[in-house]
Structures are given as structure tokens and as C-alpha cells.
């Protein structure tokens, strides 16, 4: 799979193994301003099934590979399509929804992803009840004291009630769109709506994109 992100550049970023573009994108996350002391980045698809969870895992793996010693927290905030635990190789136990619905202590729902510097909060098992999304702010305040970065994988932005409250609490939002899945004017319109809502958008990541020419040539043209 090839993943690309266009963020303040004329060319898309690439997440191919060993690609310096992914290094650059991951390093940029450390330069983002903090929101209430926490450097949290919200990842969301422009619509369902855009490959957002895969993007979050790839970025977390890249950040961990830097070997800085700083810990990264990954949060699955998309209970309707929970996939991160499988991609990270951990079990689905109590998680975010148990915290948002029942007030489960945060320290009891964090899992260590071995052998990386990544910790993980899954979507959880409490699927009945109304989640208190404002409690995400409490989670981020708790995480600010323990983690260099927090990556949140949320519902697509079409799910305004679940995605927007999280986005407003984060330092930046990274949008994910699958190549060929929507017209570029629709993507621009979605981007404009987010910015009108006061949400800071870092850029877009294009997934399932195939280059006509090899990547090493692409970077020279």
C-alpha cells in the first residue's frame, strides 16, 4: 500500500518503506502547537473506508522508529469500525468507550504495544450508553503529562456528532481520502467546512494511490 499526504507542499507525501517524505511528515507533528498542553493530532477520513486506521498505524510506527525515547499514545475513537487493535496486534479490552460512558479509570485501559514506544487505548467494550465526548479533554490533559504525541483515529468527518467534538480539542486534524473515491471539489468543500467550524487542518493524506513511475524517479521530477 502506498500512502501520500499533501500538507503545505506541491507534491504529496509518501509513506513507502524508508521514504524520506514520511520521515518529514512525522517530524512535522512534533512542530505543531499544543492545545491545552497536549500535542494531539486528529485523523479522520473524508468519508467511511478511506484507510484512516492504516495511516495512523504507519505514522505511529514511523514515530516509534525515531528512537527518541518519547512515548506515543494512539487512541481508537471510532467504535463503529474498531480496527486499530488488530493492526497493532493487541486485544480489544476495555477502552475509550468504557471511559466515556462509565468513567473507567484511564490508567486501566492503556495497553503497551511491544516492542515499540507506542501505548494504545482501544475503542472499548461499552457499546451501550451515550458517550460524553467532552471527557476527551480530560483524557488529553492526562496524556499531556505522559506522552509527546497523541494520535486519535476517529469517525469520518461526515459523522459530525462524533468527529467534530474531537477535532476541536486537538492541535490539528489530518484528513484521509482514498484515491479516486471523491471529486477534488468535494474534498475542497469538506476542508472549507472544517475551517469554518474553527478546526485546524494540517493537510490531507491520499491513500491507495499508485504512481505511474517509480518513487525514486518521482522525487527527482
Identify any residues that bridge with 205 across adjacent strands, giving them in sequence order.
5, 176
3-state helix, strand, coil in the chain (%, to 5): 35, 20, 45
Statement: the pTM of the whole predicted model exceeds 0.85? no
In the prediction, which pLDDT does 53 show? Answer: 92
C-alpha pair distances (Å), 99 with each of 1, 93, 107, 162, 204: 34, 12, 10, 15, 30
All 3 cell numbers of residue 109? 485501559
In the prediction, which pLDDT does 149 show? Answer: 95
In the prediction, which pLDDT does 180 show? Answer: 65
In the prediction, which pLDDT does 144 show? Answer: 93
Q: Are 79 and 124 in contact (CB under 8 A)?
A: yes
Identify which of 175, 141, 134 has the alpha carbon closest to the alpha carbon of residue 41.
Answer: 175
What domains appear along the chain, each with residue ranges and CATH number? 3-218 (3.40.50.300)
In the prediction, which pLDDT does 126 show? Answer: 63
Count of all residues that appear for the chain in the document: 221
Q: Are 109 and 124 in contact (CB under 8 A)?
A: yes
C-alpha pair distances (Å), 138 with each of 61, 64, 104, 130, 145: 26, 25, 12, 17, 12
In the prediction, which pLDDT does 13 show? Answer: 35
In the prediction, which pLDDT does 208 show? Answer: 61
Residues in the chain where the model's pLDDT stays below 50: 1-17, 218, 221
**Number of other CB atoms surrounding residue 76 within 10 Å:** 26
Distance CA 23, CA 198 (A): 28
Alpha helices (H) along 119-212: 136-144, 160-168, 184-196
Tens of pLDDT, residues 148-197: 999 999 988 888 888 888 999 999 999 988 876 666 777 778 778 888 88
Amino acid at each position: 500500500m502506498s500512502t501520500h499526504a499533501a500538507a503545505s507542499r506541491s507534491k504529496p507525501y509518501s509513506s513507502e518503506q524508508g521514504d524520506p517524505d514520511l520521515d518529514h511528515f512525522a517530524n512535522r507533528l512534533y512542530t505543531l502547537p499544543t492545545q491545552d498542553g497536549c500535542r494531539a493530532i486528529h485523523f479522520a477520513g473524508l468519508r467511511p473506508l478511506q484507510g484512516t486506521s492504516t495511516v495512523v498505524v504507519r505514522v505511529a510506527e514511523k514515530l516509534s522508529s525515531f528512537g527518541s525515547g518519547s512515548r506515543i499514545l494512539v487512541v481508537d475513537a471510532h467504535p463503529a469500525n474498531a480496527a486499530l487493535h488488530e493492526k497493532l496486534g493487541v486485544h480489544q479490552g476495555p477502552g475509550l468507550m468504557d471511559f466515556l460512558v462509565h468513567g473507567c479509570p484511564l490508567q486501566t485501559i492503556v495497553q503497551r504495544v511491544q516492542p515499540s514506544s507506542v501505548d494504545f487505548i482501544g475503542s472499548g467494550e461499552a457499546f451501550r450508553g451515550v458517550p460524553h465526548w467532552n471527557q476527551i479533554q480530560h483524557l488529553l490533559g492526562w496524556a499531556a503529562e505522559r506522552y509527546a504525541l497523541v494520535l486519535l483515529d476517529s469517525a469520518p468527518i461526515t459523522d459530525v456528532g462524533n468527529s467534530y467534538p474531537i477535532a476541536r480539542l486537538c492541535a490539528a486534524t489530518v484528513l484521509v481520502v482514498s484515491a479516486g473515491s471523491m471529486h477534488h471539489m468535494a474534498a475542497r468543500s469538506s476542508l472549507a467546512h472544517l475551517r469554518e467550524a474553527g478546526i485546524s487542518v494540517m493537510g490531507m493524506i491520499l491513500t491507495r494511490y499508485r504512481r505511474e513511475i517509480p518513487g525514486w524517479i518521482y522525487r527527482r521530477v
